[in-house]
Structure 1
Amino acid sequence: MSYDLAVWDGDRPLDNHHAGSTYDELYERYLESDDVVVPPEPRITAYVQALVARYPDDERSVVWASPPVLDEASGPIVYLLMSYGKAEEVSEYAAALAHEHGLICFDPQGECLRS
């Protein structure tokens, strides 16, 4: 079982509804299709590197449900799959770090923005 967050580069949506629409569009365009591989944008790469500096994503990781984390990034978005046992701690840090990096953090399960 995992807890998931999406983090992307772009303008801050007006509300949770708009964030959900943006998430759906980005997910479909960049993450759902295996046909085209789009390298992560530099801001996303920098964010993921900062995140895994605190929570390493090696094979011994108990934090990430699907390491390596950078493999879940494409273009302006990264999809984070956290092990449920560490989800509260890691998601709080991931959301705060996204804010520091000027990125948007969205909880797809709760359909809400995280800050």
Structure 2
Amino acid sequence: MSFDLAVWDCEQPLDDDAAGSAFDELYERYLESEETAVPPSPRIEAYVNALIERYPEDGRDSPWASPPITDEASGPIVYLLMSYVRAEEVSEYAASLAREYGLICYDPQGETLRS
């Protein structure tokens, strides 16, 4: 079981509904697409690297349910899957870090923006 967050680079959505629509579009375009993979944007790549620095992908203590998380990044979006056991700690840090990087953090399961 995992807890998921989506983080992307775009203008701040007005509300949860707008964020949900943006997420659906980005997910379909960049993560579900069967076309050639798109490298992560520089801000997403820097964000992912900062996450990995804090929470390494290997070892028994890794919180990631689907490492490497770099494989979950494409263009302006990254989809994070974290173990449910550490979801509260890691998702709080991921949301805080997203704010530092000027990125949008969205909980697709709860369909809400993480501020």
Note the alpha carbon deviations across 1:19-45, whole angstroms, 9 max, x for none: 000000000000011322100000000
Match of 2:70 in 1: 70
Tell me which moved more, 68-77 or 56-65: 56-65
1:54-109 Cα deviation digits (max 9, x unpaired): 00012544300000111100000000000000000000000000000000000000
Q: Work out the CA distance in 1 between the residues paired with 2:29 and 2:73.
A: 12
Runs ≥4 residues deviating over 2 A: 59-62
Comparing 93-102 and 31-40, the one that deviates more: 31-40
Q: Which runs of 5+ in 1 are unaligned?
A: none
Q: Which amino acid letter does the alignment assign opposite residue 113 of structure 1?
A: L
Which residues of 2 match residues 1-115 of structure 1 at below 5 A? 1-58=1-58, 60-115=60-115
CA-based RMSD: 0.9
Matches of 2:71 and 2:89 in 1, distance apart? 22
The answer to whether the 8 Å contact 2:55/2:62 transfers is no
Report the count of equivalent residues: 115
TM-score (norm 1): 0.97
Q: Structure 2: 5+ residue runs without aligned partners?
A: none
SS at match of 1:36: coil
Identity %: 72
Give me the whole-angstrom Cα distance separating, in 2, the residues matched to 1:61 and 1:21: 34
TM normalised by structure 2 equals: 0.97
